[in-house]
A and B are shown apart, each in its own frame.
Chain A
């Protein structure tokens, strides 16, 4: 036990003597949360709108007021021609053009339908569709109010859209589970594999192998510090997302932590597996980057929903631990569903942990390859 303590202590010394890696390890979650939370957001906020209103009657004035009343849209200028609208969009001065038909109120009253054209910049389709969604729902509710005032409602079925669990469509609800998956995977897998491969590269592994130390000892002592750091990071992420981004932990915190621990185990054992394949730190980093990071970012549902992917990618996604973890975190943390809703995810992760751990312990050689 004393020996194990000394080994773990040595690993901590390695980490803390290298100021750069401490900084990366502890600041990475903070930076990612802030980046995703405030910079890389799809949220509709202060979007500039140009309005083309040839009728200028009570109805259009009211709709425009409604549209720009909240924090979503800001009126940029009133315009009169299509050419102006084109020019503004092309120069990126506005992101949305609202184009009322002429004699708007009259048509609305007598024909029961008046046209409002919405034009958005489609080069960023995600952003454009959110803008259109927001704008049309505001316009729709304004129209309803107008019709109600005039007692003209002709029994048109209006869809009543509700976004469950995330009524304000905050993107932080989506990316917090993603960032958790990414950071834990990164720290556990990448850092563990690099720290083992570094011993191979510097030749200290050779000396350690020619000693009575049992390999499992060596591996466990490498994993412990990164396990601790991951727990620290997990805490940081949860605190930041609850207090800075206002994402609540609606479900059981206890099971969220247990789930994360299992995911940490999976990531650690993947790191060990990588370390037995790679012989240089650069190779370890590349393998972690290509095999872990890219799929985690692209295929785990962190950025794009898995269900929208081509079938083959969906199949591949099933093998990515982060996909299961992120799904389970969404259910537990955001949706606040009970434990039995994540049984599948939980058991897949446990199975993966078992498989990877066995594979990595088996692939660890007590001789040089």
Chain B
């Protein structure tokens, strides 16, 4: 095993009764990397986290953290990882300071020992040291949870959907904090269902229904997109979608915020494609719309790869 690999997952599967949560997943995360698991709720991200954090055992396959096996060496792994579960998992009835010093003592360290590591994160909530954790705002709760997960200076940090349910400003701030953490050499594995956050990771894996659709750098994922992508928007979005769906020279069409995205096979695409499409739509009586060619986002890639996967 090469020494620059921090997390290695080989053929891991896990089922809950009849539901296959993870289906033969293989991934690897390099040391000091920020790795994103991208996928909607129910994709199996939390299950994978729980396997990597030694909380549950995989049905089959092997996973190692810093060369330690999650099955056999789970006790050693628990010393060197930090874990922040998806939901708020601190003691709401303890104060900010009490939470931090409790989690420090859980790992047998003193808060002062590793304070420089969390100083940047903790300094915003330090003035509220005597406030109970349950009375913090969502963003502050995340900061406290992150501080608690970092207080023992872990080698690998697992963050399960840390920004779910957090306001956009705090989300942005949170990612900046992660960026700074990376400079300390901590490997970070983070999951999110916000596709836009994928761009902030060094490498990502797109996950759907327990399978990896694609694993690459965000740039690499976008470059592997095989189609031409068009955006269309207009007055009557509903009939636009209906007309486009009945059009056979389109590979797929789906609504995407204020517009619809149209994926077209590269071989069918040429410079006059947009004009002929506009003509077709006008013939059907659809008026007032705009079409333009756009660059794909991670979400477009996700839609494309998941369609191919089915």
List chain A positions with a Cβ less than 8 A from chain B. 2-3, 6-7, 10, 13-14, 17-18, 202-204, 206-213, 366-368
Contact = CB atoms under 8 A, between A and B. Distances in A.
Interface in B12-54: 50, 53-54
A14 B91 CA distance: 9
A211 B85 contact: no
**A interface: dominant SS:** helix
B105 A13 contact: no
B81 A210 contact: yes
Contacts of A213: 106
B94 A13 contact: yes
B78 A211 contact: yes
Contacts of B83: 206-207, 210
B89 A13 contact: no
List the 3 closest A-B pairs by CB distance, nearest first.
Answer: A203-B89, A210-B83, A17-B93
B75 interface: yes
Given A10-B102, A212-B79, A204 B90 contact: yes
Given A3-B108, A202-B89, A210 B54 contact: yes
Contacts of B103: 207
Given A13-B94, A210-B78, A6 B55 contact: no
B98 interface: yes
Contact of B57 (A2, A208, A367): A367
Interface residues of B, number: 34
Contacts of B92: 202
Nearest to A14: B93
Contacts of B57: 367
A107 B81 CA distance: 97
B134 to A, nearest CB: 10
Given A3-B105, A17-B93, A204-B90, A367 B54 contact: yes
Interface string B229-264: 000000000000000000000000000000000000
A203 B106 contact: no
A23 to B, nearest CB: 16
A204 B90 CA distance: 6
B247 to A, nearest CB: 48
A366 B75 CA distance: 10
Contacts of B78: 209-212
A153 to B, nearest CB: 75
A206 B53 CA distance: 9
A367 B14 CA distance: 15
Nearest to B94: A13
B115 interface: no
B128 interface: no
A10 B89 contact: no
Contacts, number: 74
Given A206-B55, A367-B56, A367-B57, A2 B93 contact: no
Nearest to B83: A210
B162 to A, nearest CB: 13
A203 B106 CA distance: 16
Nearest to B89: A203
Nearest to A368: B55
A10 B91 contact: yes
Given A3-B105, A3-B108, A210 B89 contact: no
Contacts of A13: 93-94, 98
Given A212-B107, A367-B55, A368-B56, A207 B93 contact: no
A363 to B, nearest CB: 17
B135 interface: no
Contact of B85 (A3, A6, A14, A203): A203
A280 B74 CA distance: 26
Contacts of A7: 105
B219 interface: no
Given A212-B75, A367-B57, A204 B108 contact: no
A166 B108 CA distance: 57
Contacts of A206: 50, 55, 83, 85, 89
A325 to B, nearest CB: 33
Contacts of A6: 101-102, 105
B90 A211 contact: no
28 contacts: A2-B105, A10-B94, A14-B91, A17-B93, A17-B94, A17-B132, A202-B88, A202-B92, A203-B87, A203-B89, A206-B55, A206-B85, A207-B83, A207-B85, A207-B89, A207-B103, A207-B149, A208-B106, A209-B78, A210-B78, A210-B81, A211-B106, A211-B107, A212-B107, A367-B55, A367-B56, A367-B57, A368-B50
B3 to A, nearest CB: 24
Nearest to A6: B105
Interface in B194-245: none
Nearest to B76: A212
Nearest to A202: B89
A314 B214 CA distance: 65
B146 to A, nearest CB: 12
Contacts of A18: 93
Contacts of B56: 367-368
Contacts of B93: 13-14, 17-18
A366 B81 CA distance: 16
A6 B81 CA distance: 22
A18 B94 CA distance: 11
A10 B149 CA distance: 18
B105 A204 contact: no
B302 to A, nearest CB: 28
